[in-house]
Amino acid sequence: MTTTEPGDAKRPARRSSNPTVHDVALEAGVSPMTVSRVLSGGKNVRLEVQERVARAVETLGYHRNENARSLRPGHRSGLVGVTITNIANPYYAEMLRGVEEIASAHGRRILVGNSNEDADLEKQLVADFIGRRVEGLIVVPSSAGDAAHLQPARLGGVPVVLASRAVGGVSADTVLIDDVEGARAATAALLAEGHRRVAYLGQRSVFTGRRRLEGFTLAHEALDLKPDEELIRVGQQDVGSAERAMTELLELADPPTAVFSANNRNTVGAIRAIVARRRAAAGTGADGGIDDIRVAGFDSFDFADIAPVRLSVVDHDAGDLGRRAAAMLFDRLEDGEQPVEPRILELPVTLRDLF
Amino acid sequence: MTTTEPGDAKRPARRSSNPTVHDVALEAGVSPMTVSRVLSGGKNVRLEVQERVARAVETLGYHRNENARSLRPGHRSGLVGVTITNIANPYYAEMLRGVEEIASAHGRRILVGNSNEDADLEKQLVADFIGRRVEGLIVVPSSAGDAAHLQPARLGGVPVVLASRAVGGVSADTVLIDDVEGARAATAALLAEGHRRVAYLGQRSVFTGRRRLEGFTLAHEALDLKPDEELIRVGQQDVGSAERAMTELLELADPPTAVFSANNRNTVGAIRAIVARRRAAAGTGADGGIDDIRVAGFDSFDFADIAPVRLSVVDHDAGDLGRRAAAMLFDRLEDGEQPVEPRILELPVTLRDLF
DNA sequence: CTGAAAGCGCTTACAG
DNA sequence: CTGAAAGCGCTTACAG
């Protein structure tokens, strides 16, 4: 008996990298085949041998290499790729959790990429994910730039579900929220209260922005009204620019008496502007009706219910959006023969008065 | 010339699965070796051949299989595993974006798992990630349960960085925020204003909760004061329970005149309770000093600056936490010979008055 | 500049 | 119940 360690005939000293089936086999005194069998449930292996292998796995800290495993024909990667325009957005974070929940329940893991609203980056992420053999993709598509990379034909058979936004020209499974109806209902509520100068704070270039502006317009048209173009402000990306836009509106000769904001950044910005104006007016005695100004906004947020204005929000469930998108994907993955036509799902929204 | 397709001697009709180097080689009329060379930059390949291969890649929609690639010795997976107690928490979402940013910059992708504050689930995620040969792990450790699975020895050489929380008994690289100092400074500010009955809303069982309570206590001790045990409320997990705890405090015979809340859920809950109380008192004329109540809380949130109370927040940069944790990890990955001792980084916090 | 051989870690038939 | 052979898709020496 020498001081050499077991297995050093074939392998150079102690390998610092991960142990393999071969190492486990050596340790347990069986063939790699038997180790593999034990790892896959132990069918047709003597109990005593199973235990020996289990002990070797434990001793060596062995973890089966999933990448090698998924290489074999018939095996899948167990991976789903998720691309989001901004993971830090609390709404998408909630959505991501919904996706993760369903993916986990189906035994899959998620690869996550932040596309930063950049179509080129999104394209790279998708290509990389396909290279890693994801079984499917869930994409919150960037609104800027070309979207040819999302064309099902370019994806080499990997199913994709678009979440939150559709993409012109790309026909793929899509989960949306009912932007048009939410915006319509919120605006209609303001009009029903008698407001006739209702401002719009939001987007026009983004998919959801267009749809929400459409709802805003529809509510007016239903009453044979036409929104004043002067009161429509688009392009605010963050709370700061939304606050400036709202301040400008409040300084108009004929200011709005109510505002519909198309997302929560715009809502928060609008409220900040109103509060600032109110504070400025507090000394002078002239408040110009600022105390009565009415706000309705798409999306909810922390604290919405104690906001210092009369506020309604169009609420919708981001987690549900994620769960539905993931469910749609697994539906495709598990149906052998899939219906060819892409499905579009519109999730309902709720208008809530928070006063 | 028959109607058979190219390559159908070896392969059964048209393979519906992904094309391989072999398929590309066939299409381009070269060997798989040459395809591989072109894919890796084209060194030592005639320009004309490079173009032929590029065209074949395009035609076939070929994506190099990264899983197969990473199998070769010397190759790495390009993957980092990230486990978070709750991905939907906006703070961790921001952190995740920081991690993704740095990982991307280093050419890595992230596998993300939600541990749901469950040590067993966390353990499974970590094991699965190691099976997928992640090069490293970033973990926001669950506070409940056993943490043996995070012990570096059990990780088979995969470096781990703990983020936001340390774990007793686990010595690994860790990035924290300066909880003690943040809580101390916030509490000290309240005491300096003359408040002598300062409540604490937070945790005691969670790592950060313990540290923040410690800061709260230190601030008192610095002035030879002792916090009143009756004013210390722990265990509120969400806004609702925090609101109830604060309501109870306000109903005490000798209520607090100020409150330090150890996280943003508790801060929001406290403010809700104060607003509710104020509304209830509005009719009666007796407000019991509710209008002067002072709040200082750990973490910021949307709208904090227009909250209807005198509020200070202990602000800290979640994105930075993520970036630092990732940077620490890549530091380990790139240093051939690593210092053995784990490093602990405490990120600074800022106390901001929002009134 | 190009290719045939070998092997990364695993598992599916196929033999015993 | 157990194992030797072959191959998943790729790339690193090694030959030409």
Query: Which among B67, B133, B305 is the nearest to A133, CB-wise?
Result: B67
pLDDT at B2: 33
Q: Max Cα separation, chain B? A: 100
d(CA B186, CA B353): 10
d(CA B352, CA A293): 29
d(CA A119, CA A151): 13
pLDDT tens-digit map of A11-37: 333 345 789 999 999 899 998 999 999
Query: Which among B71, B104, B306 is the nearest to A71, CB-wise?
Result: B71
Nearest amino-acid residue to D6, taking CA and C1': A72
β-strand partners of B295? B259, B311
pLDDT at B337: 59
Angstrom distances, CA of residue B245 to CA of A217, B201, B265:
45, 8, 12
pLDDT tens-digit map of A189-237: 999 999 999 999 999 988 889 999 999 999 999 999 999 999 999 999 8
Is residue B183 within 8 Å of residue B215, measured between CB atoms? yes
Q: pTM of this prediction? A: 0.89
Put simply, whether A314 touches B (Cβ < 8 Å) is: no
Interface of A with B in 203-232 (CB under 8 A): none
User: In the numeric block, which tokens belong to residue B93?
Assistant: 């979402």
Mean per-residue pLDDT, A5-15: 36
- Give me the amino acid identity at B299: D
How does DSSP assign B43-99, residue by residue?
TTS-HHHHHHHHHHHHHHT----HHHHTTSTT----EEEEEES-TTSHHHHHHHHHH
The count of other CB atoms within 10 Å of the CB of residue B275 is 19
pLDDT beyond 50 at A4: no
Phi, psi (deg, nearest 5) at residue A282: -55, -40
Q: Do B96 and A89 lie within an 8 Å CB cutoff?
A: no
Confidence of residue B62 (pLDDT cuts 50, 70, 90): very high
| Higher-scoring residue by pLDDT: A163, B289 | A163
pLDDT beyond 50 at B13: no
- Three-state DSSP at B286 gives coil
Interface probe, candidates B86, B96, B112, chain A, greatest A C-beta count within 10 A = B112
Shortest Cα distance from B88 to chain A (angstroms)?
Answer: 4
Interface probe, candidates B109, B277, B311, chain A, greatest A C-beta count within 10 A = B109
Q: Compute the Cα dihedral for B28, B34, B35, B38 and give only its sign.
A: negative
pLDDT at B4: 33
pLDDT tens-digit map of B225-283: 999 999 999 999 888 999 999 999 999 999 999 999 999 889 999 999 998 888 888 76
Confidence of residue B289 (pLDDT cuts 50, 70, 90): low
User: In the numeric block, which tokens belong to residue B71?
Assistant: 């199998």
pLDDT tens-digit map of B81-131: 999 999 998 889 999 999 999 999 999 999 999 999 999 999 999 999 999
pLDDT beyond 80 at B1: no
DSSP state of A152: G
Put simply, whether B11 touches A (Cβ < 8 Å) is: no
Q: If you measure CA to CA, which chain B residue comes closest to A67?
A: B67
Alpha helices in A109-263 (DSSP H): 119-131, 179-192, 207-222, 239-250
Q: Do A303 and B302 lie within an 8 Å CB cutoff?
A: yes
Interface of B with A in 49-78 (CB under 8 A): 61, 63-68, 70-71, 77
pLDDT beyond 70 at A320: yes
d(CA B68, CA B163): 31
Q: Do A268 and B301 lie within an 8 Å CB cutoff?
A: no
- Three-state DSSP at B22 gives helix
pLDDT at B338: 62
Window from B19-23, B158-162, B226-230, B280-284 with minimum mean pLDDT? B280-284
Phi, psi (deg, nearest 5) at residue A261: -110, 135
pLDDT beyond 90 at A264: no
pLDDT at B319: 96
* Spatial CA neighbour of A78 closest among B118, B105, B330, B79: B79
Window from A13-27, A150-164, A307-321, B184-198 with minimum mean pLDDT? A13-27
User: In the numeric block, which tokens belong to residue A186?
Assistant: 């919120």
